[in-house]
Amino acid sequence: MQMSHPRAFSPLSRAGDVVVRRVLFALTFVAAGVASAALADESGFYTGISNGVAVLGNPGGQNHDGDRLTATTLYGGYRFSQAFALEGARTSFGSGVNTEDPVLYVTPAEQMSAWSLAGVGSVSLTDSLKFFAKLGMNFAPDATYSSFAVATSSRPGTVYGFGVSYQITGQFELRAQSERYTGLGQTNNGQLEATALTFGARLRF
DSSP secondary structure of 108-169: GGGGEEEEEEEEEEEEESSSSEEEEEEEEEEE-TT---GGGB-S-----EEEEEEEEEEESS
In a domain, 61, yes or no: yes
In a domain, 138, yes or no: yes
Distance of alpha carbon 60 from alpha carbon 148, whole angstroms: 14
The pLDDT assigned to 95 comes to 62
Residue 29 has pLDDT above 90, yes or no: no
Does the predicted TM-score (pTM) go above 0.75? no
Residue 36 has pLDDT above 60, yes or no: no
Distance of alpha carbon 156 from alpha carbon 4, whole angstroms: 28
- The pLDDT tens digits for 128-176 are 999 999 999 998 875 554 444 444 555 688 999 999 999 999 899 999 9
Helix (H) / strand (E) element for 29: namely helix 11-33
The pLDDT assigned to 1 comes to 41
In a domain, 1, yes or no: no
21-25, 47-51, 147-151: least confident range: 147-151
Find the CATH number of the domain harbouring 107.
2.40.160.20
- The pLDDT tens digits for 67-96 are 678 899 999 999 998 899 999 999 988 765
Residue 182: CB atoms within 10 A of its CB come to 23
**56 — pLDDT class (breaks 50, 70, 90):** confident
In a domain, 3, yes or no: no
Residue 60 has pLDDT above 50, yes or no: yes
In a domain, 4, yes or no: no
The pLDDT assigned to 99 comes to 44
Q: Which range of residues forms the domain containing residue 145?
A: 11-35+44-204
In a domain, 6, yes or no: no
What is the total count of domains within the chain? 1
Residue 48 has pLDDT above 70, yes or no: yes
In a domain, 59, yes or no: yes
Asked if residues 94 and 104 have their Cβ atoms less than 8 Å apart, the reply is no
